[in-house]
Amino acid sequence: MVGLLSLATQLMRSGYDTKKISWWRPYPRDNATEKPKIILLYVKTKYQPVMEELSTLRGCPEVKCRLTTNRVYLPNSSAVMFAANFMYMEIPPPRHKDQVWILHNHEPLQKRWVRRRSIWLPSWKNVFNWTFDYRMDSDIPAPYGVLQARNGTIDKDYSAIFKHKSGAVAWMVSNCVADGKRMDYVKKLMKYVQVDIYGACGNLTCPRKDDPACFEMLSSKYKFYLSFESAFCKDYITEKFFKFYELNLILITRGGVDYTKQAENNTYINAMDFESAKHLADFVKRLATNETEYTGYLKRKDKYKPLYEEYRRKEEGVIVRRAYRLEAQGMCEVCRRLWDVEKYRKQYDDITTWFNKGTCYLPP
């Protein structure tokens, strides 16, 4: 069944708004009369917006917490968050009484960034209280997305969808050298089946800023899409899965997660279930010519919809980048804990021990 079911259920019961969020339009300004708990994004991710003023939380605007990226609020903040991938400070900032410091992370350990960040310095070793991470063993899990069962069925002409497609396999990728060695695998796969590669690693283009048009093109033209992760890590399943799941195509996955805990069987194809790239290619080519079997995948897949948030970045009124995460509900959980902080009080004696606890590995 669908993985992360408890989180999906929680989102449904909370009335969570799954509308895509604009990166350039920050959260609503604060007009509260009661003194709220302030959550300071001291080191933010690239996709989080700049919030000079105190802003309500996106997933729960009614709660008594406010979010900001303005460091002037450091002395008055109840929680201070640091995005591990963007920390370049030798010494932590001044810590104020009763503050909760939170390590925020959405990327696995990879060679290209692992040893250059502050998190490995002795000065940062024992400053964190909570973790806010894609990993399910973090204090506050913040996955890239979840699947939720639909209430009703979707009315589609699946036969027409199948017959309209002219392409076999598509892949959009910009990181050509990754720990997961996905490019090596794709090169083997391309010996047996056509793979059209978009982005910096191929000769086709469809800019990330034009995602809606790209999605429509992929959904209409291709029968399969490669949802290959850059690293093999427990719980690391990114937007590469969720943002393409609802398109009219079949995902071919490759990663370190247990996909059976994420989605129903026979709604995707797991490359790791095949002895070799050739065996996968043979299965894909056979499925591509069998309308009944192929559309069966689409019908089963359409029983679910992915939940995630879209963050858009605009420069001079033009969208230049889009990112996809599911963390608004996690921020609501941070707020809830801040109002009952004694119940959740803890400290990591060595954050690197948790951060580097062997959740990632090289692909077989």
pLDDT in tens, 214-242: 999 999 999 999 999 999 999 999 999 99
The CATH number of domain 154-302 is 3.40.50.720: no
Residue 166: the pLDDT is: 95
In 3-state terms, what secondary structure has residue 263? coil
DSSP state of 21: B
Question: Residue 119 carries which DSSP code?
Answer: G
Helix 277-288 / helix 182-189 crossing angle, nearest 10 deg: 60
* pLDDT (0 to 100) of residue 317: 81
In this prediction, residue 111 carries a pLDDT of 59
pLDDT value, residue 320: 84
What is residue 119's predicted lDDT score, i.e. its pLDDT? 86
Residues (pLDDT < 70) of the chain are 1-34, 110-115
Boundaries of every domain in the chain: 27-143+327-355, 154-302
Question: What pLDDT does 14 receive?
Answer: 44
What's the confidence (pLDDT) of residue 33?
Answer: 47
Per-residue pLDDT tens digits for 20-34: 433 333 455 555 446
Check residue 3 and give its pLDDT.
42
On the 0-12 / 13-18 / 19+ scale of CB atoms within 10 A, 334 is buried
Q: What is the pLDDT of residue 336?
A: 97
d(CA 41, CA 65): 13
